[in-house]
Amino acid sequence: MTAAAGTVQGSAPGRTGGTVARVVRRNAWTFGLAALLLVLFLVTRAIKPTYGAAELRSLAIGALPIAFAAVGQAIVVISGGIDLSIGSLLALTNVTAAALMAGGSEESAVPVVLFVLFLGLFLGAVNGLLVVASRVPDIIVTLALSFVWAGAALLVLKSPGGGTAQWLKGLIDGTIGSEWIPEALVLLVVSVALVWLPLRRSRLGLSMYAVGSDRLAAFRSGVAVAPTKVAAYAVTGLFAAMGGLSLSMSTGIGTPVPGPYTLLSVAAIVLGGVSLVGGRGGLLGPILAVFVLALIRADLTFLNVDPNFTTVVQGVIMVVVVMVGAFATLRRRTA
Amino acid sequence: MTDFLLEATGVAKSYGAVAALRDASLGVRPGEVHALMGANGAGKSTFVKILTGAVRPDRGTITLRGRERGMHSPDEARRTGLIPVYQEPSLVPDLDVLANLSLTRTPVAPFRGWVEDLGVHGLDLRTPARELPLAVLRVLDLARALAVEPDVLLLDEMTAALPADLTEHVMNAIRHQREAGRSVIFISHRMIEIAAICDRATVLRDGETVGVLDVTKGTEDQIVTLMLGPVATEPAATRTRPPVTPETLTGPGAPRLSVRGLVAGAKLQDVSFDLHAGEVLGIVALEGQGQDELFDVLAGAARPAAGELRVDGRPVRFGHPADAIRAGLVFVPANRAQALLMQRSVRENIALPFSAPLAGWGPIDVTGERRRINDAVGRLQIDTRAQSEVRRLSGGNQQKVTIARWVAGGVRTLLCFDPTRGIDIRTKREIYELLRELAAAGAAVLLYTSELEEIPLACDRVVVIFGGRVVDEMPAAGADEPTLLRAAYGLPPGALTPEEVVAEAVAIEEAEASPAAGGDGAVGEPREAVREPAPPAGSRA
């Protein structure tokens, strides 16, 4: 020990390895989820041998709005916040799109889509600005605003209605290339990649992780904390708008009453390996988690389980998976 | 108008009705190491926050190279050439080292060079900061600051929780900075470091700059006088007390706490000692010799792998801190945040451990509680101006609250782990005196401290731990710093001076670390110039 005085090893021995080993270690949770999804798919085939490409396609269509909500939620949680208004934002952008497109031509839907995306970005920024300016905890501000956005949705459309351009609906109801690749999945991957990949590589993306991980350390490192938070909320709003548009695509109408997307998005990010205290996680995990949850629900239906009991099972599975994950992390740390 | 590199004049800042700074000024010349001194509550932290751009001053100007600037954010302060290194690690825990560098726009190559020079080898830049040990994080903070060659490097209590060997590296970095004609603002409570490295010192008291002096031999007393203000200074008054030895401690019963062959975690190998009622027993150890594990076990926060604990002669097993508290063993950690409810009041914090058994689950005996709290607050002289929320108290006052809660409960055995870390001299003295008083009243106190000069002031006996084992035991009265340092390094008693001890350690380290650790000239100074000779503890009294 005397000999070692003054010399400190930079990393623990045995933890070094190649890039591949590191990638696997860092993303163990995501790999585990992917494996779980594969197992679930095989189980589904075992339960219902006819489960095939068509069912996969409808699974992807059904999961699309939840996946967008989960992606949005993941971004704001990674940067140290939480957005409980995400379900209301989905509803508001959904009815706005449906109301504007009702009776319009196919071409006029293009500016509507752009407007709705911008609206999501704007409403998200409003969420963020109020959180930053009021210094009231995120959970309270966004809960309050969830009522505001839900009310606004009812002002736009009193009851389910409106319309959607045919080309929009056509975006997600087919497959591309192989019959095993649903268009809905491709749309999800492309739109998430278009926004997230450049962001992740930018200083803003780095700042989001930094602010979520440790506000003080980020502040001292020269990160502009408040603008970073506002930006994170704005991006979350953008994904909520994508979720709202995907609701238009799958239903063809606008529904002013928010669905269960807020809580489903939180469930998906927890299962997807995003730390609720911020700073840790990615977007692939939550997306995989959305499909895991959807597949479990489908399996339980195939098994003729009472639908009321299905939600109970879903909750139990979530708790177990998260506990197993926490236990594994604990083991690794003490080892 | 001046030859100052950095100059702050007439800086004032108030929080509500409380004026944290009234009229602070600071002038730092190029190539100078400048100490910023002040007791806790003098406004030092506020001044630092203003200098680093974290807080906007109400009044005052700050100029760098003669140009006035408004520093509104840490980022702006950084870009204008003032880089701070704080007491606690400032890397973002979930980002890897590389991402942390790009966050502050720090060039990687010089950073790597500095990391090697500061004694960390084989660092994987892809490691998340969270997975690195504390000592490495401190080095990375410093390397990150040095890599951009800042005009002014601000070290805020950087050495407070640092092991001795790393402190030497910090000193070398400071010398390098000075030789390059750049400046360092150095904040430390350790007079030895101030005397060893600083050229001038600015002293703050009650939010005002009360003096700027050249640091020469003997300035320490002047600085202390300025910091303490009109209050009479009585250096080392506590040493006049009669020595307490195990023999004078009445021994009809068993020792209060008896530890035999304790093994815990990876570091604590085999520790045995007795702690008697009425004594303060010091634990001396370099960083990471197992003292953390020892205190965790004694406080009931961790279970030992082997060994026996006896309290008043009866064997005990702690499965939970509540067990230890019931057995009369109470814990004062170095990190106040671990012990206090930061957002609750002083009263609630003090009342928490003892009001539950007092009233069971029923209503709390408010009158009785208030009396006991007032006693404790008065006895410890806690400044209660900001008592509604503990986090608004100064560090010294927070530490007093952690001790007060146990005093109010009637303490039998107090376990203090570095209780004076980052606390000013006056409060330190008050805490020593309190520990002495508690011992005199029949309590047993176990005190680990990272500051060796505290040992003769506060302790009766010392146990030295090295490599997880007890390597020495001696009366505290004769334990001056050279002796303790030798013992802490696991060396047999001999005639070497501390200077040589450190040189020896460095020599061994270099032999170990070569060839990677060769002096590549970036430090610009041979490594053996590690430490100014420490004046013998006795002569400073």
CATH number of the domain residue A93 falls in: 1.10.3470
Q: How confident is the model at residue B136 (pLDDT cuts 50, 70, 90)?
A: confident
pLDDT of residue B242: 52
The CA-atom distances, in angstroms, between B514 and each of B119, B120, B520 are 11, 12, 12
ipTM of the complex: 0.81
Q: Is the separation of the CB atoms in B85 and B156 below 8 Å?
A: yes
Q: What are phi and psi of A135, to 5 degrees?
A: 60, 15
pLDDT tens digits for range B180-204: 989 999 988 677 788 888 999 999 8
In chain B, which residue's Cα lies nearest the Cα of A5? B509
Per DSSP, B122 falls in state: S
Tell me, what DSSP letter sits at residue B231? S
Contacting residues for A29 by C-beta, under 8 A, at least 6 apart: A272, A273, A285, A325
- Exposure pattern of A3-19 as b/e (b: 16+ CB <10 Å)? eebbbbebbeeeeeeee
User: CA end-to-end span of chain B, whole Å?
Assistant: 42
Highest mean pLDDT among A73-82, B128-137, B277-286: A73-82
Nearest residue in chain B measured CA to CA from A25: B127
**Domain-wise residue ranges, chain B:** 6-228, 253-488
**Cβ within 8 Å, pair B95-A11:** no
- Please give the pLDDT value at position B397: 79
* A-chain residue closest to B488, CA distance: A2
| Residue A47 located in a structural domain | no
Helix (H) or strand (E) holding B20: strand B18-28
Worst-scoring range by mean pLDDT, A54-63, A181-190, B239-248, B333-342?
Answer: B239-248
| Contact of B436 with B238, CB cutoff 8 Å | yes
Q: Which of chain A's residues have a Cβ under 8 Å away from the Cβ of B486?
A: none
pLDDT at B232 over 60: no
Strand ranges for A281-328 from DSSP E: none
Question: With bands split at pLDDT 50, 70 and 90, how would you rate the model's confidence at B490?
Answer: low
**List of chain A residues with pLDDT < 70:** 1-17, 328-335
Using CA coordinates, name the residue in chain A closest to B144: A221
Is residue B337 less than 8 Å (CB to CB) from chain A? no
In the predicted model, what is the mean pLDDT of residues B99-107?
Answer: 91
Q: Would residue A55 be called left, alpha or beta, if left means φ above 0 and alpha means ψ between -120 and 50 degrees?
A: alpha
Q: Given this model, what pLDDT does residue B14 score? A: 86
Rounded to the nearest angstrom, the minimum Cα separation between B165 and chain A is 5
In chain A, which residues have their Cβ closer than 8 Å to the Cβ of B85? none
**Same fold: B6-228 with B253-488:** yes
Q: Where are the alpha helices (DSSP H) in B39-117?
A: 44-51, 74-79, 97-103, 108-117
Let me know if domain B253-488 sits in CATH 1.20.1600.10: no
CB B395 within 8 A of CB B336: yes
Residue with tokens 């060079």, as numbered in its chain: B113
* Neighbouring C-alpha atoms within 13 Å toward the C-beta of B28: 28
A6 touches chain B (CB under 8 A): yes
Residue A150 forms part of a structural domain: yes
Chain mean pLDDT for chain B: 78
Does the residue A159 lie in any domain?
Answer: yes
Residue A145 exposure: Cα atoms within 13 Å on the Cβ side = 29
Q: Are B37 and B89 in contact (CB under 8 A)?
A: no
CA-CA-CA-CA torsion sign (B323, B328, B331, B337): positive
Residues 103-122 of chain B with CB under 8 A from chain A are 103-105, 115, 119-122
Compute the distance between CA of residue A316 and CA of residue B475 in angstroms, rounded to an integer: 61
Q: Which CATH superfamily is domain B6-228 in?
A: P-loop containing nucleotide triphosphate hydrolases (3.40.50.300)
Mean pLDDT of B430-458: 85
User: Which tokens in the block code for residue B67?
Assistant: 């140009």
Q: What is the structure's pLDDT at B455?
A: 84
* CA distance to partner chain A, nearest, from residue B309 (Å): 25
pLDDT at B458 over 90: no
A319 domain residue, yes or no? yes
Which residue type does B491 have?
L
Most confident of A124-138, A159-173, B46-60, B350-364: A124-138
pTM reported for the whole predicted model? 0.71
- Residues B534 and B502: beta-carbon distance below 8 Å: no
Which chain A residue's Cα is nearest to B506?
A: A6
Task: List pLDDT tens digits, range B285-304.
Answer: 876 788 888 998 998 888 88
The pLDDT, as a whole number, for residue B505 is 47
Q: How far apart are CA B500 and CA B504, in angstroms?
A: 6
Reported as a pLDDT band with limits 50, 70 and 90, residue B17 is: low
Mean pLDDT of the region B514-532: 38
Predicted confidence (pLDDT) at residue B540 exceeds the cutoff of 60: no
- What is the mean pLDDT of the segment spanning B492-498? 48
User: Is residue B515 reached through a cis peptide bond, with omega within 30 degrees of 0 on the bond before it?
Assistant: yes
The predicted pLDDT at position A11 comes to: 44
Query: In whole angstroms, how far apart are CA A126 and each of A123, A149, B346?
Result: 5, 11, 38
Which amino acid belongs to residue B83? I
Distance of CA B258 to the CA centre of its chain: 28
Q: Do A8 and B133 touch (CB under 8 A)?
A: yes
Q: Is B1 exposed, middle or buried (0-12, 13-18, 19+ CB in 10 A)?
A: exposed
- Please, what is the average pLDDT of chain A? 88
Which helix (H) or strand (E) segment is B202 a member of?
strand B200-205
Please tell me the distance from the alpha carbon of residue B149 to that of residue B143, in angstroms, as a whole number.
10
Instruction: Please give the C-alpha separations between residue B245 and each of B64, B281, B461, in angstroms, as whole numbers.
Output: 57, 10, 7
What pairing do the DSSP bridges indicate for beta strands B469-475 and B183-187?
Answer: unpaired
Length in residues, chain B: 541
| β-strand partners of B9 | B61
Say if B342 is an interface residue toward chain A (CB within 8 Å).
Answer: no
The number of folded domains in chain A is: 1
Q: Choose the closest CB to A206 out of B102, B136, B165.
A: B102
CB contact under 8 A, A6 and B131: no
Q: Which candidate, A301, A210, A291, places its Cα nearest to that of A40?
A: A291
In angstroms, the CA B214 to CA B217 distance is 10
- The answer to whether B123 touches B97, Cβ cutoff 8 Å, is yes
β-strand pairing of B444-448 with B413-417: parallel
Q: Which residues of B84-119 are buried (b: 16+ CB within 10 A; e: fewer)?
A: bbbbbbbbbbbbbbebbbebbebeeebbebbbbbbb
Q: Is A244 part of a structural domain of the chain?
A: yes
- Separation CA A236–CA A96 (nearest Å): 18
**How far apart (Å, rounded) are the C-alpha atoms in residues A230 and A221?**
19
Counting Cβ atoms within 10 Å, is residue A274 exposed (0-12), middle (13-18) or buried (19+)?
A: buried
A240–chain B Cβ distance below 8 A for any pair = no
Give the tokens for residue B541.
């009294």
Range of A152's domain? 55-323
Enumerate residues 261 to 320 of chain B having a beta carbon within 8 A of any beta carbon in chain A: 286, 289
In a domain, A34, yes or no: no
**Contact at CB, A219 and B54, closer than 8 angstroms:** yes
* Among the ranges given (A134-138, B108-112, B369-373), the one the predictor scored with the smallest mean pLDDT: B369-373
* Chain B residues within an 8 Å CB radius of A4: 509, 512
Of A8, A27, A10, the C-alpha closest to A19 is A27
> Facing residues of B264 across strands?
B268
The yes-or-no verdict on residue B476 having pLDDT over 80 is: yes
Is-contact B506 B171, C-beta < 8 A? no
pLDDT for residue B500: 47
Say if A35 falls within a structural domain: no
- pLDDT band at residue B522 using 50, 70 and 90 as cut-offs: very low
**pLDDT for res A116:** 97
From residue A183, how far is each of A68, A170, A233 by CA, in Å?
15, 9, 28
pLDDT value of residue A6:
40
Distance CA B473, CA B26 (A): 45
